[in-house]
Amino acid sequence: MKNKKAVFITIEGCEGCGKTTQSELLKKYLESKGLTVVLTREPGGSIVAEQVRNILLNPDFNVAPFCELMLYEASRAQHLEDVIKPNLQKGHVVICDRFTDSTLAYQGYARGIDKEVIKKLNNIATSGLKPDLTIYLDINPNKGIKKAKTVNKGNLTGGDRIERESLKFHNNVRKGFLELAKKYPDRIKKVKTSEIIEKTQKEINKEIDKFFKKKKIYV
């Protein structure tokens, strides 16, 4: 499915970890190395998938856990066809702000849905596509959730539907990410989030340089 030069990077983490800022900085960094980079996100990233995102994050909706899982997977299946696959086929670098690890962490570790079921659904929605590299930005949810709720997302004062979950929920999300990082150390690189954006960026770029040098894409 992928062009040989294509690289698929995902950025993961709990609420308020700075993924979005760091994804944008990473795009600029890789562009400065002469690469063509597409930055996208989940849930969402394409017209239909963004509509699914609106349902998923609307705090006025009461969404049943399995419906929530299926909507994340539906958004992913659409996004894969619209954005991820075509760009990888062209040999571009695709950076995705959240992907399948988020589903395991949020719907599996925190919501309590059987992780084997999630793995199967992730596999179906992605046609088996796995990230080449995942940067996991680690933050204590105690800090992160406060930060996330202050970011202006339209009229969502008090946070979106997921941000409004309990601290216990968000601690379980973090536990999930930490376990996944331990389980897949070759793919998932844990970076501790610093209050100083440039410090976090430097740590991410170290992992990125290591990966791209190993792949002999730039040296």
Closest CB 107 distance from ligand TMP, rounded Å: 6
> 8: which DSSP letter?
E
Give whichever of 35 and 55 is closer to ligand TMP, judged by the CB atom.
55
What share of residues in the chain are helix, strand, coil (percent, to 5)? 55, 15, 35
Alpha helices in the chain (DSSP H): 19-31, 47-57, 65-79, 85-89, 100-103, 115-126, 141-150, 167-183, 197-214
Interface residue with ligand TMP among 6, 10, 72, 78 (CB under 6 A) is 72
Q: Residue 94's closest CA among 56, 126, 140, 50?
A: 126
Query: Of 22-30, 97-105, 126-134, 188-196, which segment contacts ligand TMP by CB under 6 A?
Result: 97-105
Give whichever of 35 and 71 is closer to ligand TMP, judged by the CB atom.
71
Q: Residue 123's closest CA among 160, 77, 165, 89?
A: 77
List, as own/partner pairs, every contact residues 149-153 make where C-beta atoms lie below 8 angstroms and the sequence separation is at least 24, other chains included.
149/16, 151/16, 153/57
Angle ∠(168,72,141) on CA atoms, nearest 5: 25
Interface residue with ligand TMP among 92, 98, 189, 190 (CB under 6 A) is 98
Ranges within 143-162 binding ligand TMP (CB under 6 A):
162
Give whichever of 6 and 96 is closer to ligand TMP, judged by the CB atom.
96
Interface residue with ligand TMP among 102, 126, 193, 200 (CB under 6 A) is 102
Residue 184 φ/ψ, nearest 5 degrees:
-125, 60
Q: Under the criterion CB under 6 A, does residue 190 sit at the interface with ligand TMP?
A: no
Angle ∠(102,185,4) on CA atoms, nearest 5: 80
Ranges within 103-122 binding ligand TMP (CB under 6 A):
103, 106-107
Closest CB 106 distance from ligand TMP, rounded Å: 3
Query: Of 96-104, 175-183, 186-194, 195-203, which segment contacts ligand TMP by CB under 6 A?
Result: 96-104
Q: How many residues bind ligand TMP (CB under 6 A)?
A: 12
Q: Under the criterion CB under 6 A, does residue 39 sit at the interface with ligand TMP?
A: no
- Residue 181 C-alpha from the chain's centroid: 13
Chain positions contacting ligand TMP, by CB under 6 A = 15, 41-43, 72, 98, 102-103, 106-107, 162-163
